Chain A
C-alpha cells in the first residue's frame, strides 16, 4: 500500500473571501474591457449613473448604452452561469460518483439544444419574439429531463450507472436531431449561430435574462449547501448514506430536480458552455479537499471568476468577431487543470 502525505489544503474561508473580492474586481474589468475602447473613468461614471439613477450627457448615450445595456448584463450573466455550472458540476459528480460527470452528462443540455436550434434554424415559436430562444431551450430541457428521469427510473430508484448511461444515450439522440437540423438549414449564418449556441456563448445576454437566472442559481446553490453533508455521505456510497440516515433514492431524486432546473436555466441563456462544470469542481477539491461544505462554498465563486474572464477573452481576442466562450474555457482551463493535477495528491477518479 502506497503511503501518501497529507494533502496540502488551503483554508476555505480565506479562499472564499479572496475569490469573492476577485469576482468583484473581475466584474469591473469585464465591464471596462471591450472592443469599443471606453475609458475606465467613463465606465465608472456610467456605472455610478446607472446604479444611482443619475443622468449622463446626450453625447455619452452610445458608450453608456454599451456599458449599461450590453456589457453589464453580459458580465453578470457570465458570473451567474459560471457559478451555476460549477455548483451543479459538484452536485452531479457526487450524485453519480463519477469523476467524468458534468452538468451535461444527464442529457439536459443536448435536449435544450434541440429547442434552441429549432428556433434559430427553423424559426419555431416566432410569436414569442426575443424570448423564443430561451423559452424553447428551457422547455426542451425540461422535456429532456422528464424523459431521462422516466427512462433511468428503476425499482431501486435512480442508480448512478443508469443515470449516466441513460443521460449519455439520450444525449446522442438529441445531438443527432440537432445535427440534422443544422445540416438541413438553408442559411449559413443560422448554422453558424447554431454552432455558437452548441459551444456556448453569452453574446445574447440581456437584462431580462439576469434576474431569473440569478434567482434560480442562487436558490439551487443554497439548497445544495444545505445538503452538503448529505452529499458527503452519498459520496461514500449508497449503503453508507442509508446507514447514516440519508436515504439515497430520495436525495438523488431531489438532486436530479435541482441540478436539472439550474442546468436548464443556465443552458437556456448561454448554451452549453463546457469545461466549467467538469473541471472547476476538481480544481476546488484539489485546493480545499473533498468535504462538500467547503467545495460548495468555493466552487461557484471560482466558476464565476473563470467564466467572466473567459467571456472577456472571447470578446477581445478576435474583436470585433467573437469566439465561442467554451473554446476559451478549454484553452485556459485545460493547462491549469493539468498543472494542478500533476502536483499530485488528488484521489478522485483513481490513483
Chain B
C-alpha cells in the first residue's frame, strides 16, 4: 500500500510546525525521516497516524484521504508505534498485543487469538505473554509494541524513533523485524548510519520543511549534513561489510 503525504501543513497555536510537506512511500518501501530535534519529524508522523489533523494538505493511502476515512478503517490499514510510553496501567503483554485487534472488532470472529499468537511469535515475545507490560525492559517493550502493530494486520507501519533508549543489538533487532515485515514503512530515526543501512529512501526534514530526498547515500552528503545538523561528516568504508559509514565531529560555529 502506497503512502502519500501531499502538501501537508500543520499548525499549533498559530505557529506552523511543518509546511508544505510532500513525501511518498511506495508499496513495501522502508522510508526514513531524519532531521534535528524540533525539525517536525514527530509532528508530521502524528498527522499520519491521525493523532493530529493537518491544517492543509492530505495524507493518502493508495489515493484515499486518511483523515476522511472512518477511524477504525484507517487503523486497519495503518498501524503506529508512537513515542509516548505511558505505562501506568498494569496490562499484561498479551493484553497489549490484543489491543491491536481493536480496529477489527466484530469482523474476525475467533481468529483474534491466533493472529495475536502469530504476531508475538514473530517478534519473539511469546514467553512474555503473562508478564506485566510496565515491568518490561525497553527492548522487550518495543518488541511487544511491534507485535501489537503486526496484530493490527496493517499494510503501512509508522514508527516514531523506534530505536530510542535501546542498546545497539536491540536497535538492529528492531529495525530488522520492521524490515522483514515487508510492510510499507515510514520511520523517524535519529541514527544516520542506522537509517542509511536500513532504509530504501531517506527524507531529510529541517525547520518543518523537506530539504532532501532520495537513496540514503545520495542524501547524506557532508554539505547537507553541515547545513542541517551543524556537523562535519566524514564518509569511511566499513572494514568488514564495505558499506559507507559516516563519522562526525562538530562544525566550528560560523560567525
Q: Which residues of B contact A244 (CB under 8 A)?
A: 75, 99-100, 102-103, 152
Closest chain A residue, CB of each to CB of B48? A243
- Asked if B241 lies at the interface with its beta carbon under 8 angstroms from chain A, I say no
- Asked if A48 lies at the interface with its beta carbon under 8 angstroms from chain B, I say no
Min C-beta distance of B247 to chain A, whole Å: 32
- Given A230-B102, A235-B88, residue A245 in contact with residue B13 (CB < 8 A): no
- Asked if B82 lies at the interface with its beta carbon under 8 angstroms from chain A, I say yes
Min C-beta distance of A253 to chain B, whole Å: 14
Main secondary structure of the interface of A (DSSP, over half): loop
- Asked if B26 lies at the interface with its beta carbon under 8 angstroms from chain A, I say no
Contact present for B49 and A1 (CB under 8 Å): no
Min C-beta distance of A100 to chain B, whole Å: 11
- Given A242-B50, A243-B50, A245-B76, residue A348 in contact with residue B105 (CB < 8 A): no
Contact flags B1-23 to A (C-beta < 8 A → 1, else 0): 00000000000110000000000
Min C-beta distance of A284 to chain B, whole Å: 12
Binds A, one of B129-137, B174-182, B193-201: B129-137
Name B95's contact: one of A4, A246, A290 (CB within 8 Å). Answer: A290
> Could you count the A-B residue pairs with CB atoms below 8 Å apart for me: how many are there?
120
- Given A230-B102, A245-B102, A347-B132, residue A290 in contact with residue B91 (CB < 8 A): yes
A150 to B52, CA, bound (A): 22
A7 to B72, CA, bound (A): 31
A59 to B192, CA, bound (A): 91
> What interface size band does chain A fall in?
35 or more
- Asked if B63 lies at the interface with its beta carbon under 8 angstroms from chain A, I say no
Give residues of chain B (68-90) contacting chain A, Cβ–Cβ below 8 Å: 70-76, 78-80, 82-90
- Asked if A315 lies at the interface with its beta carbon under 8 angstroms from chain B, I say no
- Asked if B51 lies at the interface with its beta carbon under 8 angstroms from chain A, I say yes
Name A238's contact: one of B84, B96, B132 (CB within 8 Å). Answer: B84
- Given A237-B82, A291-B91, residue A245 in contact with residue B51 (CB < 8 A): no
Min C-beta distance of B244 to chain A, whole Å: 34
- Asked if B41 lies at the interface with its beta carbon under 8 angstroms from chain A, I say no
- Asked if B155 lies at the interface with its beta carbon under 8 angstroms from chain A, I say no
- Asked if B143 lies at the interface with its beta carbon under 8 angstroms from chain A, I say no
- Given A7-B132, A155-B13, A351-B134, residue A245 in contact with residue B88 (CB < 8 A): no
Contact present for A245 and B75 (CB under 8 Å): yes
A: residues with CB less than 8 A from B are 1-4, 6-7, 94, 97, 99, 155, 229-230, 232-233, 235-240, 242-247, 285, 289-291, 345-351
B: residues with CB less than 8 A from A are 12-13, 46, 49-51, 70-76, 78-80, 82-92, 95-96, 99-100, 102-103, 105, 130-132, 134-138, 152, 158
> Could you write out 29 A-B pairs with CB less than 8 Å apart?
A1-B135, A4-B132, A6-B92, A6-B130, A6-B131, A7-B90, A99-B88, A232-B99, A233-B102, A236-B91, A239-B46, A242-B50, A242-B71, A243-B79, A244-B99, A244-B152, A245-B70, A247-B71, A289-B95, A290-B95, A291-B91, A346-B90, A347-B88, A347-B132, A348-B88, A348-B90, A350-B88, A351-B134, A351-B135
In the A-B complex, list the 3 residue pairs whose CB atoms are closest, starting with the nearest: A245-B75, A347-B90, A239-B82
